Amino acid sequence: MKTILDLSKQELEAEIKPSFRAKQIYQWIYQQYVGSFDEMLNLPKSMRTELETRYSLSPLRVLKEEQSSDGSKKYLFALHDGLSVETVLLPMKIEEFDEDGQRVHHTRYTVCVSSQVGCKIGCAFCLTGKSGFVRNLSAGEIVAQVLFLKKLNNIDAARRVNIVYMGMGEPLDNLQNVVKAVGIFADIDGLSISPRRQTISTSGLSSQIEKLGSIDTGALLAISLHAVDDETRVKLMPINKAYNIKSIIEAVKKFPIDMRKRVLFEYLMIKDVNDSLESAKKLVKLLSGIKAKVNLIYFNPHAGSEFGRPDEKDMRAFADFLNSHALLCTIRRSKGLDISAACGQLKQRQQNELD
């Protein structure tokens, strides 16, 4: 049965009569977190029954929930056809000062969503890629991951979360459903998560980056770059044969970027592969003229991995070089963020920590 979460509010308005009920239904689902149509008390009983027969409200079922030491939580969700996907909730403690100068603490949540079951890209450092591609997730299956995580963790409906499309799959290989999900997330009667709180992360499908740019969803862009020359990048990401570094940079330069935002470049540091100062110099040159931010991520070797973790001092020297050349750069230390930063490591890192 079709899930109602697949429908944008405009589509729902077209499907039900009278159409003003779509707004109420959206609010029940995304702001009241109801578990059944029967709880939608301001709808006539006949409409609740009709909705029940036409749509499912829960396209996911929790199979497994695991919490890591840094507070991040991984969920394994079963889909209607028995396949499964992973979603990660990353809480981050924030300290701020209120108007009276008092310290206040609150938690900012980021949800790392999957966009496909499996992945076609086949990056050398990734477990998801190794198991191959199975199918795209529908928009509703993407939306449900965030809705379920908010509900399961009692995160108030009014509390906005950030979304990163960095879980399983290549989001731009499922462009249509990802773009639709961005819009459903943003609906004011729904979860109301602005596109500027949503980051679409890609392995660098240049033509799809251009397509996404022309649709101009307002979502932010992250590129998993991981290397500064084609020879190295092909070894890590064979997709580079089809979309080389030059084509990615050209596509990024055309991408519409919010005045206050930057394009994020994820760089998985691997010992003796891409961690030299020579690489740092090339990176600065490559990204010149782009409003960019670089996230350096420690590679964490897993059993059987052919790659090694970089030395702390090389990481520091790399970061210092970028920062001293006006290229904004951060090193991701938090375990949870390490997990989210490189989609392929998500499954692997969580598994290592939680097994």
Binding site for ligand SF4 (CB under 6 A): 119, 121-123, 126, 128-129, 168-170, 203, 343-344
Judged by DSSP in three states, 51 sits in: helix
Alpha-carbon span 49 to 43, nearest angstrom: 10
Task: Name the closest residue to ligand SF4 (Cβ).
Answer: 129
Provide the minimum distance between the beta carbon of 133 and ligand SF4 in the complex, in angstroms, as a whole number. 9
Q: Closest distance between ligand SF4 and the C-beta of residue 288, in Å?
A: 26
**H runs (alpha helix) in the chain:** 9-15, 21-30, 45-54, 127-130, 139-152, 175-186, 206-215, 230-236, 245-254, 277-286, 312-324, 335-341, 343-354
Judged by CB, which is closer to ligand SF4: 59, or 118? Answer: 118
User: CB of 120: closest distance to ligand SF4 in angstroms?
Assistant: 7
C-beta of 51 vs 142, nearer to ligand SF4: 142
Closer CB to ligand SF4, 72 or 203, in the complex: 203
CB of 169 to ligand SF4, least distance (A): 6
Q: Which of 86, 170, 266, 353 is catalytic?
A: 86
Strand-by-strand arrangement of the 61-67 sheet: 61-67, 73-78, 84-97, 103-112, 162-165, 198-202, 220-224, 263-269, 292-298, 328-332
Alpha-carbon torsion, ordered 121, 339, 151, 78, to 10 deg:
40
Nearest to 220 by CA among 178, 164, 143, 180: 164
What backbone torsions phi and psi does residue 4 show, to the nearest 5 degrees?
Answer: -65, -20
For the chain, state the CA radius of gyration: 21
Q: In this complex, which beta carbon is closest to ligand SF4, that of residue 152 or of residue 234?
A: 234
Q: Which is nearer to ligand SF4, 155 or 346 (CB)?
A: 346
For residues 138 and 348, which CB has a smaller minimum distance to ligand SF4 in the complex?
348
* 278 in catalytic set: no
- Residue written as token pair 């540091």: 269
Token pair of 48 as six digits: 């609740």
CB 24 → ligand SF4: shortest distance, Å? 38
In the complex, least distance from residue 342 CB atom to ligand SF4, rounded to whole angstroms: 6
Q: How many angstroms separate the CA atoms of 304 and 188, rounded?
A: 47
Q: DSSP string of 138-167?
A: PHHHHHHHHHHHHHHTT--TTS--EEEE-S
**Closer CB to ligand SF4, 3 or 174, in the complex:** 174
In Å, how far from its chain's centre is CA 265? 14
Q: What is the DSSP string of 95-121?
A: EEE-TTS-EEEEEEEEEE---EEE-SS
Contact 32, 87 (CB under 8 A): no
Residue 340 CB, shortest distance to ligand SF4, in Å, is 12
Tell me whether residue 210 is one of the annotated catalytic residues. no
Q: Give the active site residue among 123, 126, 329, 343.
A: 343
Q: Which residues are catalytically annotated?
A: 86, 343
